[in-house]
Amino acid sequence: MRLWILFIGWIGSVLMHSEAAAADSVVWHPKARTFDMNVRAMGLEHLLGVIKSETGWEVLVEPGLKGRVGVKFRDKPAADAMRLLLGDKRFSLVPRTKGGTRLMVYEGNRRGATQQVDGAMLAFEAEPLAPDVDDGRLLTLKVKVHHLKSSFASINADPKLTNIRPLLAGVNEMWRSTNIRFVADRPVPLRAANRDAEKAFAGLFKPGVSATAVAQLQSRILHKMLPDLPDRGKVFHIVVIYTMPRAYGAVYLPAKGIVLMPQVKFAALVDADGVWKDGSPVFFAQSNILAHEMGHSLSLPHVATQGNLMIDGNLREGGGVGPGSKLTAKQIIAARRQAFTGGPYVPGLNPRPAKPKPPGD
């Protein structure tokens, strides 16, 4: 009973803590196609660049377009959000023939919007956490994204091929009920720690290597190939690799504190201009995979419950509703308990913490 009381208390405090946040924020919910924004005073082009990064949209503006924006709202549909932040400027927000979404901003005619806006990022401002008391606040967790660099084409990640931020927006939508949000840093390259392991991993792609051999060898090789990052257990890490053998969707490596995610699995969702085909059901399936692995990083094990975010992959082939995005009250409590450490579950380094005391105890 006490678990449910705590859970209800968190839900009631979501709005209070969201309203109290002082930092500029732009939060995109791709499935609902709504925005939460809290922007005090920002240059228009910079804000449009942030929107481009968070959504994966193509954004075009009329050259010379200037302005500063200050807005604050929650759960506004995309078109309504654009009206609020653009004021007297005109815009066109339409699906593209290749898939994805194009936003055009202009003062005269739509044909004047010819200048591509570069992606931009907001500064990450981590707030101090009190691990002994869960007061229901929004927990914003920093994620460092790395692209694995390798001389083997099968695993060498292309930083221009995919932008993981729109996928994280889908993850955050699935994790919204927990009042936990992941914010990605600017991607950086990462080199393998062991050349022999790198070669052995590339060898798993050769014809004739069985699924059994991949299952037996992959984890062992990855633990040698990937470095022990200096802030392991203190910050959430996603390593993007070009692909993985046997079409694995993603995997969490607890000893490394790393979610490993192949970009070729979802590269078809991005067109030649780098725009996400964000209406695709496959897009949300990829967000679901990443949300599931982030659940492991927050100490959640597999469950056998159909429709739960943490359902075991082997059970997804059975009957029922299959994978979903639901989390139980107990799962939410456990995930928030880990989130209060500021880092992922890493056995021996950042283990599952003790249950925090509720406010007032």
CATH number of 106's domain: 3.55.50.30
Mean pLDDT of 123-152: 82
Residues 101 and 171 in one domain: no
Q: Is the pLDDT of residue 323 over 70?
A: no
Question: Has residue 348 been placed in a domain?
Answer: no
Domain boundary among 82, 116, 150: 116
Residues 88 and 146 in one domain: no
Residues 177 and 259 in one domain: yes
User: 331-341: buried (b, 16+ CB within 10 Å) or exposed (e) per residue?
Assistant: bbbbbbbbbbb
Q: Is the pLDDT of residue 84 over 60?
A: yes
Question: Has residue 349 been placed in a domain?
Answer: no
Residues 268 and 327 in one domain: yes
- Whether the CA torsion 78, 81, 85, 89 is positive or negative: it is positive
Counted domains in the chain: 2
* Mean pLDDT of the residues in the chain: 83
Residues 169 and 32 in one domain: no
**Cβ(83)–Cβ(139) below 8 Å:** no
Phi, psi of 205 (to 5 degrees): -85, -5
- Specify the 3-state DSSP secondary structure of 61: strand
Residues 105 and 254 in one domain: no
Q: Which pLDDT tens digit goes with each residue over 260-278?
A: 998 866 655 566 665 656 6
Residues 110 and 57 in one domain: yes
Residues 161 and 42 in one domain: no
Q: Say what percent of the chain tops pLDDT 70.
A: 79
Q: Is the pLDDT of residue 22 over 90?
A: no
Which helix or strand (DSSP H or E) is residue 311 part of?
Answer: none
Q: What's residue 205's pLDDT?
A: 87
Which helix or strand (DSSP H or E) is residue 270 part of?
Answer: none
Q: Which among 139, 128, 168 has a CA at the least distance from the CA of 338?
A: 139
Q: What's residue 114's pLDDT?
A: 95
Tell me which residue range forms the domain holding 271. Answer: 139-191+231-339
Residues 112 and 52 in one domain: yes
Phi, psi of 115 (to 5 degrees): -95, 120
Structure tokens at 198: 């790198």
Q: What's residue 133's pLDDT?
A: 75
Question: Has residue 75 been placed in a domain?
Answer: yes
Side-chain half-sphere exposure of 282, counting CA atoms within 13 A = 11
Rounded CA separation 57/54 (Å)? 8
DSSP bridge partners of 76: 35
CA distances in angstroms from 139 to 53, 95, 123, 165, listed in the order given? 21, 33, 16, 18
Strands 115-116 and 58-61 come out as antiparallel
Question: Has residue 170 been placed in a domain?
Answer: yes
Residues 144 and 277 in one domain: yes
Q: What's residue 214's pLDDT?
A: 87
Residues 181 and 261 in one domain: yes
Domain boundary among 65, 85, 116: 116
Instruction: Tell me how crowded residue 290 is: count the other CB atoms within 10 A of its CB.
Output: 22
Q: What's residue 220's pLDDT?
A: 92
Mean pLDDT of 86-94: 92
Counting Cβ atoms within 10 Å, is residue 157 exposed (0-12), middle (13-18) or buried (19+)? Answer: buried
Q: What's residue 171's pLDDT?
A: 93
Residues 105 and 31 in one domain: yes
**Cβ(216)–Cβ(256) below 8 Å:** no
List, in sequence order, the alpha helices (H) in the chain: 2-20, 44-55, 78-86, 164-174, 195-203, 211-225, 281-297, 329-339
Question: Has residue 277 been placed in a domain?
Answer: yes
Instruction: Please give the biggest Cα pair distance in the chain.
Output: 62
Q: What is the CATH number of the domain that holds 152?
A: 3.40.390.10
Question: Has residue 283 been placed in a domain?
Answer: yes
Side-chain half-sphere exposure of 65, counting CA atoms within 13 A = 29
DSSP bridge partners of 71: 39
Q: Which among 119, 69, 121, 75 has a CA at the least distance from the CA of 91?
A: 69
Q: Which pLDDT tens digit goes with each residue over 43-68?
A: 999 999 999 999 989 999 999 988 99
**Cβ(120)–Cβ(53) below 8 Å:** yes
Mean pLDDT of 242-250: 77
Question: Has residue 297 been placed in a domain?
Answer: yes
**Cβ(150)–Cβ(193) below 8 Å:** no
CA distances in angstroms from 251 to 225, 258, 292, 337, listed in the order given? 15, 8, 9, 22
**Cβ(147)–Cβ(189) below 8 Å:** yes
**Cβ(145)–Cβ(164) below 8 Å:** yes
Mean pLDDT of 128-139: 75
Question: Has residue 359 been placed in a domain?
Answer: no
**Cβ(157)–Cβ(241) below 8 Å:** yes
Choice between 186 and 115, residue whose per-residue pLDDT is larger? 115
